[in-house]
Structure 1
Amino acid sequence: MQFLVKNVEETTELGFSIGKLLNSGDIVCLTGDLGTGKTHITKGIAKGLGIDDHITSPTFTIVNEYDSGRLKLYHFDVYRVSDPDEIYAIGFDDYIFSNGVSIIEWANYIEEILPSDYLHILIEKDLSNGEDYRKITITPYGERYDYIKSLSSK
């Protein structure tokens, strides 16, 4: 499923729609180049979960936790992870197999340790339409994410 967004607001709005649909234990894997909007879509997802906290990318801490919404949110940024053992050392499995929602920015860096079921969101710049346009491709892996297909009707 693909979406074309024109600006940061539309990126955040799409994230909000996704966040409203997410369930306990869901894993969202974000990929895309620097500056494409991974953190902005995460901010929207957090809003959709009812989290009003200031969302920042946990580049140096690897994970930020937010628990003020309908579900707990674990926001990972694995850009600086050079070895999967680093992420296991912080209790990665405890986070992603919990009742919260896990969002993993730069998930392609650790794809060998990701579970088989997750929601993948690829964000790419679409320069053919304009500098701020993004093509967002959402691919569900596993039957648990069939509900995401309802986004296309919105």
Structure 2
Amino acid sequence: MIHCRCNSLDDTIRLGEAIARLMEMNDCVVLSGDLGAGKTQFAKGFAAGLGVDDEITSPTFNILFEYVGDELPLLHFDLYRLDEEDELTDIDFFGLLESGAVCLVEWGDKFPAAMPDERIDVQITVADDETRAIAITGHGARGAQLEAALGEALDASS
């Protein structure tokens, strides 16, 4: 597990960019944190790291936004409004995870058993008005590989 602190919105955006630059086809990031924790700022950086030029907003009311990146498409899910795990089937969540896109899933922690075995989890916690505590955990072989690569990238930038 990697622990880091983001002392500004820009830091949160840069962390999202750094993680996105490590992504490959079908990689998944599950993003969690309370309302107002900074998930949308992270998502903006993540999308920028994939070369997405569109403005990034939370897809809460749409559940899913699709973006075109430089090399990989981005599927940005927001599961906040879903109540039951069965609703994931209604939106073809499991099929989309294998679509070749990079998936960023907000509120995936509502349905932990449904999240892919190979992923990284990014937990954002509000420390104070500006500071966010971030915990990043890799799951499965690919998640462990991403966590290690991110740890090296963060060490190199320090």
Aligned-residue sequence identity (percent) comes to 36
Which residue of 2 is the match for residue 148 of structure 1? 150
Instruction: Give ranges in structure 2 of 5+ residues lacking alignment.
Output: none
| TM-score, with length taken from structure 1 | 0.93
Instruction: Give ranges in structure 1 of 5+ residues lacking alignment.
Output: none
What displacement does 1:39 show? 1.1
What amino acid maps onto 1:56 in structure 2? T
Is 1:53–2:54 an aligned residue pair? yes
| TM-score, with length taken from structure 2 | 0.91
Which residue of 2 is the match for residue 21 of structure 1? 22
Pairwise CA RMSD: 1.2
- Whether the 8 Å CA contact 1:13–1:44 is kept in 2: the answer is yes
Cα displacement string for residues 28-84 of structure 1 (whole angstroms, at most 9, x for unaligned residues): 001111101111111101111111111111101111000143111000000010011
**Alignment partner for residue 139 of structure 1, among 126, 137, 140?**
137
User: Deviating runs (4+, > 2 A) in structure 1?
Assistant: 147-152
Which residue of 2 is the match for residue 94 of structure 1? 95
Aligned mates of 1:151, 1:81 — CA distance in 2: 35
What displacement does 1:100 show? 0.7
1:1-154 correspondence to structure 2 within 5 Å: 1-127=2-128, 131-145=129-143, 146=145, 147-153=149-155, 154=157
What displacement does 1:148 show? 3.0
Aligned mates of 2:131, 2:60 — CA distance in 1: 25
What displacement does 1:151 show? 3.0
